[in-house]
Structure 1
Amino acid sequence: MSTTAPTGLANGSIIGRVLRAPGDLLGRISENRHWAYLLIIPSIIFIFIIIIYPTISGIVLSFREMRLTRPDLGTGFVGLRNYQYMIEDPVFWVALLNTVKWAAAAVILEFLLGLAAALTLNRDLPGMKVIAVLILLPWFLPNVVAGNIWALMLDPRLGVLNDILVQIGILAEGKAWFADPDTALSVAILVEAWHGYPFFALLFLAALKGIPKDLYKAAAVDGAGAFQSFWQITLPGMKMVIAAVVILRVIGLVNSPELLLILTGGGPGNATQVLSLYAFQTAYLLFDFGYAGALSVVAFVVLMTFCVVYLRVSGVAR
């Protein structure tokens, strides 16, 4: 009588060991204390290619000469010449001041509108889901679409808003809002606030949902009013989200001049010129990539400084 195992079982056992081998190997590797480093290697490579390398290249470019309209100048190292020219450039100082106004005013308005919308949506009232969709609609629109819609609505001849203001007697005739240096930046900020506040509303609403209801009940038992509950419970509970949203929105506003490019192009004159738009126009209209790189580096430093100072002042980071 033969004691040899059936061929099918033997083959099945071998196949089973082969199939289990990768899993066993993975299990042994995962027990190694260096496993975490292996997991983040793809992310580090991706970040280096997409973020670190272009950033370093841009910084290096700011110290070089690169004018596509003057190939005779070459691409040699010019040191701080681009930065020296920047200090002497009056448009740079106008753009820097406008950048601060643009980011600060837009973020404050978006913060207030977003907080009001989030507090409203957080209430269990009929129709809140429909209202939530309507509130979020502006955020769904691309900057190009939103900019062209508002440019048409504020057109001095065809704009519906100008027509309404004339009909109710506020204006005697249609006004070219974006052609007036006194109103261009302010109106552009209002358009940006309309377009960007749903971002605040969405994340603030998520933060409000995470605050335990028991805290409000306990505060009510202790005799706290609505304002005291808001100041002592709601705002502290949203602190981390507020810090993250403000920083992300400031970065977006400083780095993305699409709305200003569509509405005003930086004009009239330089009334709505900001650093990112000035750098874009310097690179792709004047083809001076060296000076555009220097402008971008200054914008980068301004943003990094703001982030560090804001995190420390807000108490999120020490």
Structure 2
Amino acid sequence: MEFSSRIDLDRRSGGRWAALNPLTWLGELSETRYWMYLLLLPSAAMLVAVVLYPTLYGFDLSFRQYRLTRPDLGTGYVGLMHYKRILTDAVFWLSLYNTMIWVTLSIVLEFLLGLLAALALHRNLPGTRVFAVMILLPFFLPNVVAGHMWSLMLDSRMGVINDVLVNIGLLDSYKAWFVSPVTAMGTAIIVEAWHSFPFFTLLILAGLKGIPQDLYKAAQIDGASGFSQLRLITLPMLKTVIAAAVILRVIGLVNSPDLLLILTGGGPGRSTQVLSLYAFQTAYRDFNFGYGGALAVVMFLILMIFAWAYIRISKVNRD
């Protein structure tokens, strides 16, 4: 009698412990519709910690007085003071203009070089694989490495590019490319295009692989030239890929001041001063994090407006 009662007690205790067992609880939860939310919870937490919180903190910082060189001013809220200052800041408007020049010319040059390289690689001619590796090499280099490498190659005293141009007669003497306001921006754009055009090459090449070859065969039968096939078939079929690549590169160019920081530092004068470099120098050279945060927020809004407008114009969302 005592033995049987002990067995019943153990069964009841085992049932209670099973209900409290985390594995049992998870097993029961996996049979409900709440299981997917539990699986998404780690990713959502990472997204909040890595993306949402820093973004909101940056917006909050733009409304504060936060100058490490003036601790007497405190860190309180100042409302729209920084944004009002932006409206009358001549350096901001010059940086905005330089950013438009920097982004537009870089994107055009990168797209043209990327398109030519992708079309060449798509033909699968002998030596294509070696050529593909050579094209991708610049993209593998960090911006810091590429910037210092080109800075040495374009050096006005011992740069190899100056030496070649002088020897072939294109220059009379060595030229300081990043000292003159006339050549500084153009030279930096060429360096940026050399470094980043493989990004367009990869995306366009992937898009070319998805175009049906029957379209080109039909066009050849109708007597369409190679340029007509490019204009009427290739580019329209690559519209989605090109739009995505342009948006990503614009975001990258606007947000990355490292190459210009290495090559020119925003000079000479302010001829190569762009918004990202101005925000970076305001925050980490002048230690004015409040105003630097406001500049970053303005850049964020400009990029959001650009992305929305470009998608609407290209009608990608209707395809």
What is the TM-score when the length of structure 1 is the normalising length? 0.88
Q: 1:241 to 1:38 in 2, by over 3 A?
A: farther
Residues 242-269 of structure 1, C-alpha deviations (whole Å, 9 max, x = no match): 1111111111111111100000011111
TM-superposed deviation, 1:225: 2.7
- 4+ residue stretches of structure 1 with deviation over 6 A? 22-28
Q: Distance in 1 between matches of 2:211 and 2:39?
A: 33
Q: Distance in 2 between matches of 1:132 and 1:232?
A: 26
Amino acid aligned to 1:52: L
Which residue in the other structure is 2:68 paired with? Answer: 68
Q: Distance in 1 between matches of 2:24 and 2:233?
A: 50
TM-superposed deviation, 1:240: 1.6
Amino acid aligned to 2:95: A
Which residue in the other structure is 2:177 paired with? Answer: 177
Q: Distance in 2 between matches of 1:301 and 1:87?
A: 15
Q: Distance in 1 between matches of 2:73 and 2:179?
A: 38
Give % identity: 62
Q: 1:30 to 1:108 in 2, by over 3 A?
A: farther
Q: Distance in 2 between matches of 1:35 and 1:60?
A: 35
TM-superposed deviation, 1:143: 0.6
User: What SS is found at the alignment partner of 1:177?
Assistant: coil
TM-superposed deviation, 1:25: 9.0
The correspondence of residues 86-97 of structure 1 with structure 2, limited to 5 A, is 86-97=86-97
TM-superposed deviation, 1:174: 0.9
Which residue in the other structure is 2:14 paired with? Answer: none
TM-superposed deviation, 1:87: 1.6
Q: 1:219 to 1:264 in 2, by over 3 A?
A: same
Q: 1:223 to 1:36 in 2, by over 3 A?
A: farther
Which residue in the other structure is 1:4 paired with? Answer: none
Q: Distance in 2 between matches of 1:293 and 1:110?
A: 30
Which residue in the other structure is 2:129 paired with? Answer: 129
Amino acid aligned to 1:316: V
Q: Distance in 1 between matches of 2:25 and 2:106?
A: 54
Q: Distance in 1 between matches of 2:214 and 2:36?
A: 39
TM-superposed deviation, 1:238: 1.4
Which residue in the other structure is 2:101 paired with? Answer: 101
Residues 148-196 of structure 1, C-alpha deviations (whole Å, 9 max, x = no match): 1110111111011111222222222111110111111111001000000
Q: 1:33 to 1:211 in 2, by over 3 A?
A: farther
TM-superposed deviation, 1:23: 11
Which residue in the other structure is 2:253 paired with? Answer: 253
Q: Distance in 1 between matches of 2:61 and 2:30?
A: 43
Q: 1:213 to 1:181 in 2, by over 3 A?
A: same
Which residue in the other structure is 2:13 paired with? Answer: none
Q: What's the Cα RMSD here?
A: 2.2
Which residue in the other structure is 1:223 paired with? Answer: 223
Which residue in the other structure is 1:299 paired with? Answer: 299
TM-superposed deviation, 1:230: 1.8
1:56 is the counterpart of 2:56: yes
Q: 1:25 to 1:243 in 2, by over 3 A?
A: farther
Q: 1:27 to 1:129 in 2, by over 3 A?
A: farther
Unaligned runs of 5+ in 2: 1-17
The correspondence of residues 29-48 of structure 1 with structure 2, limited to 5 A, is 32-48=32-48
Q: Which range moves more in the overlay, 45-54 or 292-301?
A: 45-54
TM-superposed deviation, 1:229: 2.1
The correspondence of residues 143-182 of structure 1 with structure 2, limited to 5 A, is 143-182=143-182
Amino acid aligned to 1:203: L
Q: Distance in 2 between matches of 1:245 and 1:90?
A: 32
The correspondence of residues 262-277 of structure 1 with structure 2, limited to 5 A, is 262-277=262-277
User: What SS is found at the alignment partner of 1:67?
Assistant: coil
The correspondence of residues 188-227 of structure 1 with structure 2, limited to 5 A, is 188-227=188-227
Amino acid aligned to 1:180: S
Q: Distance in 1 between matches of 2:52 and 2:124?
A: 46
Q: 1:228 to 1:30 in 2, by over 3 A?
A: farther
Amino acid aligned to 1:81: M
User: What SS is found at the alignment partner of 1:45?
Assistant: helix
